[in-house]
Amino acid sequence: MKKMKMKNETVTTEFILLGFGDLQELRFLLFVVFLTIYIMTITGNLLMVILVVTDHYLHTPMYFFLGNLSCLEICYSTTILPRLLASFITDNKHVPFNYCIIQLWSFCIFKTAECYLLAAMSYDRFLAVCKPLHYPTLMNTKVSFQLIAGSWICSSVVDMILVIFILQLNFCGHNVIDHYFCDFIPIINLGCNDTYHVKLILAVLASISTIPQLTLTITSYGYIIAAILRIPSVIGRKKAFSTCSSHLIVVTMFYGAIITVYTMPDTDGLRKVKKIFAIFYTILTPLLNPLIYSLRNNEVKGALRRTASKCTICMKVHQTPFVKPHDGT
């Protein structure tokens, strides 16, 4: 552990991420599993972005939100998984202080932005189902762009405030984090001075960034479900619900895992359980998002078939040999 002497205190210059230290004998197997997950996550979300950009049938606010969600998941996975994969290979658990703070800030921005983005997507579905005649006016390209920009700006500002308060703490003692990435609660708990005010700021900012968004999401789906149940035909109800079921599954997975992790008491007995649940919203949710949306969405599957057909035609054109025209001599 690197330390430097300053004003009769030992100042921490790095943290030690224990990761999955209790599964050390399985680290090569874990490396293969998480590498596969990372490759599939990047591939699936990148494919979703390409489909949204290239297929004109998907140039709607709903898929604009979905494309941004996929971009967010790519960034989020890249924030956590490469460092975790490197630790499996090198068995190096030491992380520089500055790197840990940057990872913490990136993690907070992407997860907070996802809360805003999922709320915007639920509002979009509410307008599409409950106010279909007014939908083109209420949710146009300009409005969807403003919602996306607002999600990123709000999350950046909120999490910058949190990081500034965390940097006011003195880290001069323990530097061991029993986690696989630099999460804010374990880092705050390592502060040598009074952490009460920082935890209070954390609670306030977390409430601002989750409670209104979750309330909007639940309210939107309450209206959506009520509207769907009023549709007289079974086929009509199925069609209406199919446009929202994918997003509802993603929201349930995301908030369910986060609420479980951050409402559990921070005790030694529950720390491993919290680490397992954290895998759901940090690693598995970015992997499952494109799968859920593609497998349960006929428009996405149609766009995928059209894109595959275009690629096949292009390959055949390039593989066709050039025949020199006969000059008649």
Interval 217-239: pLDDT, tens:
999 989 988 888 887 877 777 77
CB 254 within 8 A of CB 113: no
* Residue 94 located in a structural domain: yes
Q: Which residues pair with 12 in a beta bridge?
A: 3
* Residue 318 located in a structural domain: no
CB 283 within 8 A of CB 257: no
* Residue 6 located in a structural domain: no
- CA 253/CA 289 separation, integer angstroms: 10
CB 285 within 8 A of CB 74: no
Q: Which residues pair with 177 in a beta bridge?
A: 17
* Residue 98 located in a structural domain: yes
What residue type is assigned to position 216 of the chain? Answer: L
- What is the value of pTM for the model shown? 0.84
Report CA dihedral (282, 283, 289, 295) to the nearest 10 degrees: -160
CB 74 within 8 A of CB 45: yes
- CA 197/CA 180 separation, integer angstroms: 26
Q: Which residues pair with 15 in a beta bridge?
A: 95
Full domain range(s) for residue 119: 12-301
Predicted confidence at residue 318, as pLDDT, reads 62
Predicted confidence at residue 6, as pLDDT, reads 43
Predicted confidence at residue 316, as pLDDT, reads 66
Which CATH number characterizes residue 283's domain? Answer: 1.20.1070.10
* Residue 323 located in a structural domain: no
Cα 115-119-124 angle, rounded to 5 deg: 150
The number of folded domains in the chain is 1
* Residue 1 located in a structural domain: no
Radius of gyration over every alpha carbon of the chain, rounded to an integer in angstroms:
24
> Of 246, 248, 240, 258, which is closest to residue 220 (Cα–Cα)?
248
Mark the ranges of the chain whose per-residue pLDDT is less than 50: 1-8, 329
Q: Find the largest Cα–Cα distance for the chain.
A: 98
